[in-house]
Amino acid sequence: MGKQKGQEFVNEIKWFLKYFDTFEALAIMNMNTEESTQSFDWVYYVLGIVAGILIAASVTGSVLSSIAGGIVGLIISALFLNKIVKGRTY
């Protein structure tokens, strides 16, 4: 029984390699639930900080206001993640 399952697995790999590129087949075979459970919330925080700094710097031209703009951008991104899109599945 175990040898038959192993042979089926080898046949599946051969099928993937026959119909897909090698890298594409490996990516398909390595898909698991770990990918969907990774959190990318940090991206929104970084975007909020960068956008706040750039907007404040372009409007006022001051370094101090750029720092304040970064803090405001961080707060807005936190509100966005925790209030607006909280509980949504991607």
Q: What are the residues whose beta carbons fall under 8 Å from the beta carbon of 73, sequence distance 6 or more? A: 48, 49, 50, 51, 52, 53, 55
For the chain, the structural domain boundaries read 2-36, 41-84
Q: Report the residue count for the chain.
A: 90
**pLDDT reported for residue 33:** 44
Task: Indicate whether this model's pTM tops 0.85.
Answer: no
Residue pLDDT, tens place only, 36-51: 566 778 888 899 999 9
